[in-house]
Structure 1
Amino acid sequence: MNDAVHVLSAGSLRHAFPAIIGVFGQETGIAVSLTLGPAGLLREQIEAGARFDLFASANMAHPQRLAAAGLTEDPICFARNRLCVLARADLGLTTENFLSVLSAPAVRIGTSTPGDDPGGDYAFEVFDLAEARYPGKGESMKSQARQLVGGRNSPPAPPGKGAGYLITDGEVDLMMSYYSNARLLEQDPSFSVVEIPGEFQPLIEYGVVIRRDADMETRHLRDFLLSARGQQILSEAGFSPAGQSERA
């Protein structure tokens, strides 16, 4: 697929981008190759010279850095998400007892890896927001957090394991998760999907950039992502439209 539009995309878009590419290809006949991974590591690959046409990140910071370096055009926010908690059902976690449960010394918290993956950055932002309002609570959460996924040294998920395998395998009691991912386990009785209180909810904006001197095919894909049809597909995958904030 040497003539395809080369897309590097945050892994949290894995349930959205294949559908976007499918509809886009049907409408335009343009081929797209897709590589998924932690957005921070993808940004490093781009900075090191990796081939790409379009980069979709789970934050705005990575696209902004590429634009500032002159590697891409200016970034555009194309979707929003929110953070929630995927917990084992018998933990008894609710939005109301979020602070007391997560700061309890015995609770094992799983997160993605800050720096490498925006999901980890957002999780630690939750802890910082909790610490600012309730001194000691956020630091307790940080001390109990284990950075288990989304890092350059994170092991891949075992074959055949579902998204909540770290909880069902007993590694952690809960995972800080994007809602777009956690919602897929809402009907599973083994888990609870719990909203984070609004006062601790980070603003999660997804940014897209295209390389400098991008061809028309790449521009068509970016425009489709921002179109009503593209936004509908993102909404169906658990994201919010670019113009709608998930922050309480």
Structure 2
Amino acid sequence: MTQAIRDGLAVDVFVSASPEGPAALHRAGLFGPLRTIAWNRMVLVVRPELEAPVEDALALLADPRWRIGMSTPGADPGGDHAAAFLGRLTTTDPGRWQGLRVRCASLYGASLPDPDAPPRSPAAETLREGRADMLIAYATTADRIARALPGTRILSLPPHLAPPTEICATARFGGPEPARRFFEALQGPACAEILRRHGFLTAPVQPG
């Protein structure tokens, strides 16, 4: 998305699941300072009916029987955060985690969704179609998967390996007044309440 905006995509307010894109647009002089409006976290999403009663996420990840899916690093912040988690994890015990990355595949998130297409969850489709046994994904994505696929299990990942991720917003310099007001509203209490209802952790409101 960041590159698409650089290339001329008409965007006045950019909300991203990573601070890197908004920060890059700010450094380029196209957008103003970024503001953190919420936080998310990474979890392990286990497909329904997987014959693995273990409720420990790391034990499941260590089991060589299971195929692990994730979003696409470099194209989607969810993939970047999953890759960062894997990087931290594998350094804790290289012997135990040898071969883990071979079982991990980027199965969705490589391209922007079609805004005119009906809403869909590529992550849920990945589990429904049996292309992975479990996913490393956002907690908010996991909640949507669980609603679509009853019996899905959501397991926490150690916070020192998967710290909360920032949801950031920024507004284009010289953008229209409605965009400026929308950007301000994103930092307010009404938006924070909406984000909480959808499973996000709300960050302190940034000063104006």
CA contact (8 A) 2:58 2:157 kept: no
Aligned to 1:176: 136
Equivalent positions of 1:148-227 (< 5 A) are 148-152=107-111, 164-186=124-146, 188-227=149-188
Return the offset for 1:166: 1.5
Aligned to 1:37: none
CA–CA distance in structure 2, aligned partners of residues 195 and 221 of structure 1: 33
Which residue of 107, 119, 144 corresponds with 2:78? 119
Return the offset for 1:70: 0.7
Return the offset for 1:159: 7.8
Which runs of at least 4 in structure 1 moved beyond 6 Å after TM superposition?
A: 158-161
Q: Structure 1 pair 159/127, CA: closer, same or farther in 2 (3 Å)?
A: same
Q: Structure 1 pair 138/217, CA: closer, same or farther in 2 (3 Å)?
A: farther
Return the offset for 1:205: 0.2
Q: Residue 194 of structure 1 aligns to which amino acid in structure 2?
A: L
CA–CA distance in structure 2, aligned partners of residues 215 and 161 of structure 1: 31
Return the offset for 1:94: 5.0
CA–CA distance in structure 2, aligned partners of residues 159 and 45 of structure 1: 22
Q: Residue 133 of structure 1 aligns to which amino acid in structure 2?
A: T
Q: Structure 1 pair 223/196, CA: closer, same or farther in 2 (3 Å)?
A: same
Aligned to 1:16: none
Q: Residue 175 of structure 1 aligns to which amino acid in structure 2?
A: L
Return the offset for 1:219: 1.2
CA–CA distance in structure 2, aligned partners of residues 43 and 160 of structure 1: 22
Return the offset for 1:106: 2.2
Aligned to 1:232: 193
Return the offset for 1:200: 1.7
CA–CA distance in structure 1, aligned partners of residues 9 and 145 of structure 2: 35
CA contact (8 A) 1:79 1:206 kept: yes
Which residue of 55, 71, 78 corresponds with 2:37? 78
SS of the counterpart of 2:36?
Answer: strand
SS of the counterpart of 2:192?
Answer: helix
CA–CA distance in structure 1, aligned partners of residues 98 and 21 of structure 2: 26
Q: Structure 1: 5+ residue runs without aligned partners?
A: 1-41
**Does residue 1:129 correspond to 2:99, yes or no?**
no
**Does residue 1:88 correspond to 2:34, yes or no?**
no
Q: Structure 1 pair 133/95, CA: closer, same or farther in 2 (3 Å)?
A: farther
Q: Structure 1 pair 47/231, CA: closer, same or farther in 2 (3 Å)?
A: same
Moved more, 175-184 or 66-75: 175-184
SS of the counterpart of 1:65?
Answer: helix
Which residue of 16, 19, 25 corresponds with 1:66? 25
CA–CA distance in structure 1, aligned partners of residues 38 and 71 of structure 2: 20
Aligned-residue identity in percent = 27
SS of the counterpart of 1:170?
Answer: coil
Moved more, 68-77 or 130-139: 130-139
Return the offset for 1:175: 1.2
TM-score (ref. length: structure 2): 0.86
**Does residue 1:57 correspond to 2:20, yes or no?**
no
Q: Structure 2: 5+ residue runs without aligned partners?
A: none
